[in-house]
């Protein structure tokens, strides 16, 4: 019998993703970002989170998806050790409670960078919810 988990969900490039609520510091509306030239392309910029400077990562790029359009993106701020990092996502979903029983490793159909960044999928009634590997997703690229 697996335990229940609460996931904060969001949509990026049509993918439904979730992270454990314990990792999420807060969810923000689109913020003014300051671009960082010469940084890795996945770095969307810096935002001012109440006096803290937080790096915003473009999750689309991170997942190897095409860049977002003009649509401003939402921030999901996660804590990574001492530091907070924001993931830019298309849409914020609700917090859902899932059961470990519904969990499965990544389906074969998921390929590329996405496969590396997700731990697996929860089979919900209406769709699949992919569990994001926060550690990997937030790790700085070696490039």
Partner 1 sequence: MDEIVEEFLVESYENLDRLDADLLALEEDPSRPDLLASIFRSIHTIKGTCGFLGYAKLERVAHVAESLLSRLRDGQFMLTPEIATALLRLVDAVRLMLASIEANGTDGDGDWSDLVAQLEALQQSGGSPAAPAATEAASGATAVSAASTASAPAALRAAGAVEALAGAVAGPGSPAAAVGAQAVNGTGASGGAGGNPISPVLLADAGAPANRVSANGSDGTARAPTASFEPGGALPAEPAPAPAGDPDGGDRLGELLVAAGSVTSEAVILANYAQQLGDERRIGEVLVDHGATNQDEVNEALQAQKERRGSVSDSSVRVDVGLLDDLMNLVSELVLARNQILQHSASRDTVASGTFQRLNLITTEFQEAVMKTRMQPIRNVWSKFPRVVRDLAMACGKQVRVEMEGEHTELDKAIIEAIRDPLTHVIRNAVDHGIEAPEKRLAAGKPAEGHLRLRAYHESGQVNIEVSDDGRGIDPERVRAKAVERGLLTEAHSRELGERELVAMIFSPGFSTAEQVTNVSGRGVGMDVVKTNIEKIGGTVDIQSELGRGTTLKVKIPLTLATIPAFIVTSGGERYAIPQANLVELVRVEADQSDSAIEDIHGAPVYRLRGRLLPLVYLDETLGVAGAPEGRSAVSIVVLKVNDRTFGLVVDDVNDTEEIVVKALGEHVKGIPAFAGATIMGDGRVALILDVLGLARQGHVVGEQRSDAAAASAMHGGAQAEDATTSLLIVATAHRRRTLAIPLAEVTRLEKFPGDALEVAGHHTVVRYGNRILPLVDLSAMVDAGSGSLSGRTQLNVVVHGTGESSVGLVVDEVVDIVQERVEVQGASAGSSGLAGAAIIRGGVVDLVDIEQIVAEAGIADLVGAAEEVVA
Other Cβ atoms closer than 10 A to 16: 19
The Cα 25–Cα 90 span in angstroms is 18
Among 1, 3, 29, 50, binds partner 1 (CB under 8 A): 50
Among 25, 28, 80, 124, binds partner 1 (CB under 8 A): 80
CA-nearest of 124, 122, 111, 136 to 59 is 136
Here the tokens at position 22 are: 């314990």
Q: Judging by DSSP bridges, how do beta strands 103-104 and 74-80 pair with one another? A: unpaired
Total binding residues toward partner 1, as defined by CB under 8 A: 27
First-residue to last-residue Cα distance in the chain: 41
- Min CB(127)–partner 1 separation in Å: 31
**If binding is defined by CB under 8 A, does position 53 make contact with partner 1?**
yes
Among 4, 41, 83, 104, binds partner 1 (CB under 8 A): 83
The Cα 86–Cα 57 span in angstroms is 6
- Min CB(46)–partner 1 separation in Å: 4
**What is the footprint of partner 1 within residues 29-48 (CB under 8 A)?**
32-40, 42-43, 45-48
Q: Decide whether 3 or 35 has the Cβ nearer to partner 1.
A: 35
The Cα 19–Cα 10 span in angstroms is 9
Q: Decide whether 52 or 91 has the Cβ nearer to partner 1.
A: 52
Q: Which residues bind partner 1 (CB under 8 A)?
A: 32-40, 42-43, 45-48, 50-55, 57, 80, 83, 85, 140-141
């Amino acid at each position: 019998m697996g335990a229940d988990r609460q996931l904060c969900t969001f949509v990026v490039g049509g993918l439904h993703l979730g992270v454990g609520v314990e990792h999420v510091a807060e969810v923000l509306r689109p913020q003014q970002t300051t671009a960082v030239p010469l940084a890795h392309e996945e770095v969307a910029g810096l935002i001012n989170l109440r006096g803290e400077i937080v790096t915003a990562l473009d999750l689309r790029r991170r997942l190897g998806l095409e860049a977002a359009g003009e649509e401003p993106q939402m921030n999901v701020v996660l804590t990574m050790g001492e530091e907070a990092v924001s993931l830019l996502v298309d849409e914020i979903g609700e917090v859902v409670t899932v059961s470990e029983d519904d969990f499965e490793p990544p389906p074969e159909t998921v390929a590329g960078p996405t496969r590396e960044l997700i731990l697996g999928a929860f089979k919900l009634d209406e769709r699949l919810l992919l569990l994001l590997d926060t550690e990997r997703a937030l790790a700085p690229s070696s490039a």
